Structures are given as structure tokens and as C-alpha cells.
Structure 1
Amino acid sequence: MANIVDLSTEDKLEYQFFPVSSGSVSFKVRTPNDAHIALTMGPQPSDPMIEIFLGGWGNTKSVIRKNRTKPDKVEIETPNILNGGEFRGFWVRWDSGIISAGREGEAIPFLSWADPEPFPIAFFGVCTGWGATGSWKIEDGAEFNTPDQLEYKFGPVLSGSLRFEYRGPHNCHVALTPAPAEVDPMYEIMLGGWENTKSVIRYCRQKPDKVEVPTPGIMNPNQFRQFLIEWKCGRVIVRDGESGMVIMEWVDPSPFGITHFVPPSAPVAAPLYAAPPGYPGAMGGFSAPVMAGPGNWVDASAGQIPPGAVVGGQDCSGEPLYVARAQHEGALIPGKLCASHGCAYVPWGGLEHGKPQYQVLVGGPNNWVRTNGSNVPPNAFPGGQSEDGEPLFVGRVNHEGSLTTGKVQQSHGVCYISFAGQELGFPDYEILMH
């Protein structure tokens, strides 16, 4: 779910901050040089702070700096990366201390650095200086992953519309409120409720619903669906995000000022990993290698490769990728170890997540069988489990010159891999067998 903010920055090197709700932000900027981005814990330029300078030194190079202290952590030549006459698009991501920046439309970052002392990033600031003013279009890159819990998380809304994508079997609930809290008055939009058969608009959590329309099959557990909610002078309109077709609308006779949206969200504390069948002795955490039939899962970190690690594929550069797994959001997720990056990567929630602590499959099978969809063979090698207890298997996919290992989730009918910052799903894949 994204929210776009338009703003201008003067030639003052004074940051303007806004809150972020996930580990990424996308933006477009029009400036001749020195587009500066800050990642902080609070809405002010205080340590700890990561700064990314794009097009500095006369639009010739870009750097990552921490706590306003030289030497810079990363410095690369980027001649003419910015333009004072046109908007240029970029993205910034952070996960487990790995900070990266890339161009719009390019999945591979041109700047990346692993912070050995990461901190929780809650705000994103922008500024210009050194003779430059700037115009920005900033999109909070939050992706809200919603378990089966109606718990709300709030984000600011700075315009009269909200465009978002949702992937799930049913029950996408979005609320519009006058404050960052679950308070009345409140509009609730429920899409794909009642087992994905109908959608409604509700006011102040009261029945009867103001609008009810049949929408059979509007949601899909394997595919993102786009939606647009608009409001003006009390008129609330819900549209299909791709076609623009009106799904439902209602006019409130006593409208209120909407300042925040409320999507369902996961609780802050993720549950501890509980070992699935076939993992004797597995306690929450990585205290010891875990047996899974032939082969061990062995603790490792920071790019370490245990002796006898199973090679599952190779990166675009030709570097071997090892079968690995790591904990994330209460799940134990199969993925890939890229040793030169100093971490393993696992796919979850539409994004690639770097994990400096992980487990590597050692001495295990290396027998891969082609399959597709939900056709998981009986002898498939288990690699972990999802946050809600579903077994996850080890799969791999050929993609853009790589052979990348990831997770097979049978209920979704795909193999997910992490690739260039994203989680990508493929219905045709290879699966690791005993």
C-alpha cells in the first residue's frame, strides 16, 4: 500500500522528514546535483543516521555516510545521475543492516553497504544543497503483510486518494480515519469478505453496512490485485486499480477530514519458530544443527560456508549459491547463501531479506526434480515452515542468468525466490528431493 508525497527542497541542506512503515522507499527527484537522503530513528537529523548522497561533488559521484562522519562507507562514480530538467527515479532499501540504493526500473543496487551496528529506521528525510533546489515525489514503499488477525497499523494520508495492492485469499480491510488511532468517525472498506463473495463500506463499525455488492473472486492468494480508494466532500469511491471501474461508492451526509489510513497488520512481536514434524530437537532459534533426514542444517553467519555445504545453484556472476534458510517474521524460510554478500537471502512478503545469521544445508541431498504448481512430490525435502505452520520445501528457478534457490509453498502453488530486492514467484520450478 503506497502513499505519494510531493514536496520541494531549498538550497539549504535542511532535511524534511516523514515516517516510513517498512524497509523501502521509492522516489523521483528533479535537481541538478546533491539529492541527499537520511535514514533515522526520529524525525530529526540525529545519530544514529545513515545518509545517501546522490549526485554529489557536482553530480559526479554518490556515497553512503554514517553519523555525518568521514570517511564515507561507500563511494562510486555516478556522472550525471541527476538532472535539473527532468525527474529521475530511485529506490532505497534497508534490511538487517544492509543499506542499498538503486535506479527506478533496475533491480540491482548501485550503492550497497552492510552496517555492522544496525538500528531501527523509522523516518526518511530528504534535502538538497550545494547550489541546488529540488522537487520530489516520494512513495513510502511499505508492503503490509497481513496474517489472519484484525489488528490495525496506521499510516499518514496526504491526499484524497489511496492506491494499493493486496494479495490474499479474502478479507482485505482498509479503514480511513481522522487520527492515527482506531477512532470514530471511521470508514471501513471490506473487500472480498464473506469467503471472497462480497464487499462492503461500513461507517463507524456499525451495521447495517452502507453499501454491499457481490464481488465473487475479487481476491487471489497468488496474485496482487490493485485497488484505488478516493474521497472528496464525503463521497467515498472504491475502484479497480487497473481498469478504474467503480466497485462501490457511498456519500456520507456528515463527512469528516481523513488524515490516516488503517490496513490490517501483523503484531509487532512475531511468534517463536516451532519445529514442524521431522525436525527432532529443534528449539526456537539456531542453537544447534537440526536433522532433516539425510543432511544437517548448520549454523553460520557473515558469509561463512560450512564444509560440505550443498550447492543449489549459481548467481548471475557465476558465484555458487548454497542452500540456506533463516528465520523471518516467525517463519523458518529456505533461501540462498551468497557468500560474497556476507549473508543469506530469504523471500517473504514481496521482498528479499538479507540475513547475516542463517543455517546452511550440509551433506544433504542434491537431487532436483522438475514440477509445477502445488504438485509437491511425496519425497520432497522439507526446509522449514511458514509463520502459520505450513511446511516449506526447497526449490530453485532459472531466472535472468541465475539458478536461484528459494521456498516452495504448496498452498500458493509456486516457488518463491529472492532476487534483486524482490520476492518473485514461479509456477514452474525444480524441487529438492530426499
Structure 2
Amino acid sequence: MANVMDVATDDNLQYQFFPVSSGSVQFKVRAANDAHIALTTGPQESDPMYEVMIGGWGNAKSVIRKNRTKPDKVEIESPGILNGGEYRGFWVRWDSGIISAGREGEAIPFISWSDPEPFPVYYVGVCTGWGATGSWKIEDGAEFDTPDRLEYKFGPVASGSLEFDYRGPHNCHVSLTTHPAEVDPMYEIIIGGWENTQSVIRYCRQKPDKVTIPTPGIMNPNEFKKFLIEWRCGRLLVRDRMSGTVLMEWVDPAPFPVTHFGVRTGYGARGQWRITHFGRTGAQPLPPTAPVAAALYAAPPGYPGGYGGNVPPPSGGAGIWVDVSGGQVPPGAVVGGQDCSGEPLYVARAVHEGATIPGKLVPSHGCAYVPWGGIEHGKPQYQILVGGPNNWVPTSGSNVPPGAFPGGETEDGEPLYIGRVRHEGSLTTGKVQQSHGVCYISFGGQELGFPDYEVLMP
């Protein structure tokens, strides 16, 4: 059931990244030379990093490189391995530190190297250069197995949903977490547990379960069953992907940002899985369980003249706050940072407990997040800064520069400013409260304060 993603790469040696859940990637590429594949822990070109360069040096050689440094770990002669007029198929694998690449249909790699200090690979990047452009067809959804030992295999999520097929007698377990580990906060979805008689949603590995439903015979050891898990602003849905029927639903009053999933089997069951990251291509959309949101570029209330037609959004200058909801990003929205997954974060604010609080919009989560009272609060209704400044000035403590861009106010009427900090691979926007001498951000379900930060200036 391979799901194919078409990617075009320019002659610029700039990688395009996507997440992977298994230890291999299969692809076809049409390029005259220099098809480069990067294996990384994050969606960017940074160490640690493996690179497999196929058809380099004028389509004469292929190499494996680590951390962008020479000498290359291994080099082979591979004349004519690529072709600018036709697709050539390859695979790249990584397992226990062994990095290898081979041709489609051949089990033996043409190049491989064993790293004595391996690292986990969560992302793959592709690029071309040195005079070549490339057209790629990258396959996702490779099958893999989970043993009977209740141990999660983790991978990153690319958006607010996870699509998968499962074949096994019972006990299909899926976790949603903030890290690639079994840590709280954590959602667990158990489908076909208790000898294939019931399914549950569990929070932080605690009982009683949040949802319990009878599902006799839902799993089959001889047939793949198709499911979809979705999460938006704390609303967790488990669907039968064939019919779109909602099997289970639960709303978390204090949602956290999901960045990873895990899968496992146990209690006498082994499972076979197909995980899809790229989203549905050509499939009919599932029926919604709530009213469909307004068109993304509809004129929001209070916006003079609207966005549509030939009216461009504002840019530069003072900017305005625009009412939107459900993960929508209006044209001209100010990008304030980047999530640890590489997704852009937009400058947002929302009302909470009588305060108007600056925070962040994560579009794939379908909501904005604001920090308050030590907790991260998800807000499906929020405002986005449109056409405003993007001038960030480093400062610390209570030293808010005069004229800093106003972002809101506390419930007591104290002005709040817009700040941002770097934390765990992200650049996250939040609120600066001068009387506290910190910038607060919402991250991993918590409100975190930082004395050193950047503040948004006009």
C-alpha cells in the first residue's frame, strides 16, 4: 500500500525533509547526477547526519558521508548509475548503525558502512545539485513488525493525524507523546484488547480508562484493518478508515502538543503494521464530525476590505490582529518561529481567564497555545498578527525596550509583550511579562519561563 510522494529538487543542494517511521526508504529518482539522501534526527541539515550521495562526480562515483565532513566513510565507482531521462529505483536502509543503499529489486547493497557511534534517524532529506535537478517518487508505508513484548517503537508525526493499517489477532496499541519515549503526558489507544473484545483510550497510563467500548472481533490475524487517529485542540478521535465511522472520542481539557507516536503489541499478540505519513493522495475525505470551517481566505470579522479578490493582505508597519480559528493561517500572518518538527509557528494571541495572552499558532494542531498558570492552554479560537513587524531584539529580565510591540494584557491590566526563545530544537513565541522579568512560552503542556529572550519591536 505504498503511498508515493512526488518531490522536485532544484540544482541548489538544499534538502527537502520528511519524517520516516521505519528503518528504510524506497524511492525512484530521475536526475543526471548527484542524487543526495540525508538521514537526520530533525527536519533540517544539522549534525548528526548521514549522507548517501548517488552518482556524484559527474555520475561516476557514490559515497557515504557523516556530519558533512571528509574524508568520506566509503566511496565506490558507480558510472552511469543515474539517468536524467528515466527514473531509477533505489533503497536506503539504516539498522544498528549500518547504513546501506541498493538498487530496486536487488537485496545486496552496492554501498554500505557501519557507524561505531550510530544515532536514531527520524527524518530523510533529498536534494540535487552540481548541475542536476531531480524528480523523485518517494514511497512511505513500508511494512514492519512488532513483537509480543509491550515495547513501543517510536516515530515522529507530521501533522495532527496518524493513518495506519494493522494485521494481528488483538492488542493493537498506539501512543501519542511529546518525545520518542514512553513518558507523560501520553495518550494510549488500545484497539482489540482483552482478547479482541474491547477498545479504550487511556491517559498517562492511568486507570480508569477515559473511554471503553466493546469491539468484539475488530482485529483479524489474516487481514489488515485500516484506522485513522486524529487530534485537534485536545479532541482525540479514532476512526475506522474504510467507513469513516468514529469508534472512540475523548476531549482532553488540558491538551499537550503531540510530536511522536509509538506502536506495539503484547499479551500474546504479534502485529504487522503499515504507517503512512504523507497524507491521503486521491482518497475521498472522511466525513466531518463537526461543521466545516469557513474558507481559509474568507474575510475575517473586522478586517477592512477583506482579503479576497485583488485586495492584498497588509505587510510591514503596525499590523492588525485578525480573528481566525481551527488552525487557519490568514495571508500575511507573521511567522514568529519554528516548532521542533520544523513546522512554522505564527504570532498569535487568545483570551484566557480575563487576560489577552500572546502565544503561538501550530496550524497542524488546529489551535493556538497560550501560557498561563503554569500550564499550556490550547485555544481553537484565536487572533493572528497580520502584516506586522518581524524585528526581534535580544534582551533579558525586565529590560523590555521602549516601544516594544504590544501583544495583550494580564487579567490585572499589566501590558504583555511578544517574545520568543529557543527551547529543545524549537523557536517558540510567547508572552513577556515585565513585572516577572521573563518570557513565558507554552511547551509540552507546560508554561515555561526564560529570563533571556527576544522581544518583538515595531
TM band (smaller chain): 0.3 to 0.5
With normalisation by structure 2, the TM-score equals: 0.45
TM-score by length of 1: 0.47
